[in-house]
Amino acid sequence: MTQILEVRGARRVFKTPEGGTVAALDGVDLDVGQNEFVTLLGPSGCGKTTLLRSISGFEQLDSGALMLEGKDIGRMPAFRRPVNTVFQSYALFSHMTVERNVAYSLEVAGASKQEQKILAGEALEMVGLSGTGSRMPSQLSGGQRQRVALARAIVARPKLLLLDEPLSALDRRLRQKMQIELKALQSELGIAFVFVTHDQEEALTMSDRIVVMRGGQIEQCGAPRDIFRKPRTKFVAEFIGDTNLFETTIECVHGGRILALTREGTKIWLSEETKLAKGDAATVVIRPTDLQVQDAHSSCGFRGKITRVIYLGTDLHYYVQPAVGGQELLVVSRTDGSRRAPGDEVTLTYRPERAHVVEDC
């Protein structure tokens, strides 16, 4: 895939008012392919906004390179970059009608009035807002303003669209609706999207690729499935979805099979390639959905007692206290199986390929 955007070794250090320094970006490499939906995901303060603002030109990198379609744009002023942004606060021009807002980029580029009208109308139709062109932004609901901001950013067909938590101000239902619409719009337009969020569910639903950031660096980058199934580090595993972590020591490694022992002495079988050897410490991840609740007499797995059952519509959450001690385990299963009650003795089983070793940092 040809790359539309390449970020190489991006660094940006801020001076804090207290006199210290913060590396908001600390050597970030990022590629975005044509028509790719990339999500930047990470906890607050990890540098997502700074990275986005560096791409749009509102923030200058201290060092590193920024290439758009192979051209260096690192020194280009923001207004010349063929990149548009959807702002978190929408930043609609309150003194202009919706139509003029949407047509703004065409207007400043010197397009004719007629052309502005036609293209703005098309963009508004795309976001499902045709007929509202003559209103003022203050006469729209939050969700509608969001769509106007989107229409305004896509009307001139930028090479790349940047979105900084555009859905965070919307309620849950509207947000889910917009997630689907945004994704559809993106494939329809064929524009690459770089989307910032700190909502992992949002990232998993929408992205072609997720970039997990932490402390100004990229922790892991990959397809949603890989990020979820094969988190590289403990941080990623814990950030993306609920997880059960086991601190273990490797007991033996043999041809893609690993046997790890928890501190309490429980055996965990894994089926994956590893550089680890006998005696190494390893953190093992098993997702709550990968554990099955079985009757107590089942052969191998984690013995324990159910402490809590939480009913969540389609899912049931079981909290299980292992018999050997240690942390409570979470199991998520479908409601349509057999129900168990708190106090039941159970065994939790898993498939070895669903257990995964992560780096311990």
Ligand X SMILES: Nc1ncnc2c1ncn2[C@@H]1O[C@H](COP(=O)(O)OP(=O)(O)OP(=O)(O)O)[C@@H](O)[C@H]1O
* DSSP type of residue 339: -
Q: Which residues of 79-114 are buried (b: 16+ CB within 10 A; e: fewer)?
A: eebebbbbbbebebeeeebbbbbbbbbbbeeebeee
Q: How far is CA 76 from CA 12, 110, 196, in A?
A: 17, 21, 23
Q: Is 57 in the site for other proteins (CB under 8 A)?
A: yes
Q: How far is CA 300 from CA 72, 76, 193, 247, 342, in A?
A: 58, 62, 46, 19, 21
**Closest CB to other proteins among residues 100, 214:** 100
- Select from 4, 36, 41, 50 the one that contacts ligand X (CB under 6 A): 50
- Select from 9, 43, 91, 177 the one that contacts other proteins (CB under 8 A): 91
To ligand X, the closest distance from the beta carbon of 25 in angstroms equals 8
Which of other proteins, ligand X, Mg ion, none interacts with 299 (beta carbon under 5 to 8 A by kind)?
none
Classify residue 184 by burial, with Cβ atoms within 10 Å: 0-12, 13-18, 19+.
exposed
**Closest CB to ligand X among residues 58, 93:** 58
To other proteins, the closest distance from the beta carbon of 63 in angstroms equals 22
Q: Is 169 in the site for ligand X (CB under 6 A)?
A: no
Strand runs labelled E in 115-235? 160-164, 192-197, 209-214, 217-222
**Spatial separation of the C-alpha atoms in residues 266 and 263, rounded to whole Å:** 7
User: Helices 113-126 and 98-108 sit at what angle, rounded to 10 degrees?
Assistant: 120
Nearest-10 Cα torsion for 18, 21, 24, 25: 170
To ligand X, the closest distance from the beta carbon of 169 in angstroms equals 13
Stretch of 33-41, 107-115, 225-233, 264-272 lying at the interface with other proteins (CB under 8 A):
107-115
Q: What's the Rg (C-alpha) of the chain? A: 25
Q: What number of chain residues touch ligand X (CB under 6 A)?
A: 13
- Select from 26, 39, 49, 90 the one that contacts ligand X (CB under 6 A): 49
Residues that bind Mg ion (CB under 5 A): 49
Q: Is 78 in the site for other proteins (CB under 8 A)?
A: yes
Q: Is 166 in the site for other proteins (CB under 8 A)?
A: no
Q: Is 85 in the site for other proteins (CB under 8 A)?
A: yes
Q: Is 214 in the site for ligand X (CB under 6 A)?
A: no
Q: Is 24 in the site for ligand X (CB under 6 A)?
A: yes
- Select from 79, 138, 188, 338 the one that contacts other proteins (CB under 8 A): 79
Q: Is 147 in the site for other proteins (CB under 8 A)?
A: no
- Per DSSP bridges, beta strands 160-164 and 83-86 are parallel
Q: Is 311 in the site for other proteins (CB under 8 A)?
A: no
- Select from 45, 64, 82, 143 the one that contacts ligand X (CB under 6 A): 45
Classify residue 229 by burial, with Cβ atoms within 10 Å: 0-12, 13-18, 19+.
middle
Q: Is 94 in the site for other proteins (CB under 8 A)?
A: yes
Q: Is 152 in the site for other proteins (CB under 8 A)?
A: yes
Q: Is 116 in the site for ligand X (CB under 6 A)?
A: no
- Per DSSP bridges, beta strands 37-41 and 209-214 are parallel
**Closest CB to other proteins among residues 49, 200:** 49
- Select from 71, 93, 256, 273 the one that contacts other proteins (CB under 8 A): 93
CA geometry: angle at 45 spanning 359 and 167, to 5°? Answer: 105
Q: Is 84 in the site for ligand X (CB under 6 A)?
A: no
To ligand X, the closest distance from the beta carbon of 168 in angstroms equals 9
Q: Is 56 in the site for other proteins (CB under 8 A)?
A: yes
What DSSP line would sit under 77-130, residue for residue? -GGGSSEEEE-TT----TTS-HHHHHHHHHHHTT--HHHHHHHHHHHHHHTT-T
Binding stretches for other proteins (CB under 8 A): 56-58, 77-80, 83-85, 87, 89, 91-95, 104-105, 107-109, 152-153, 156
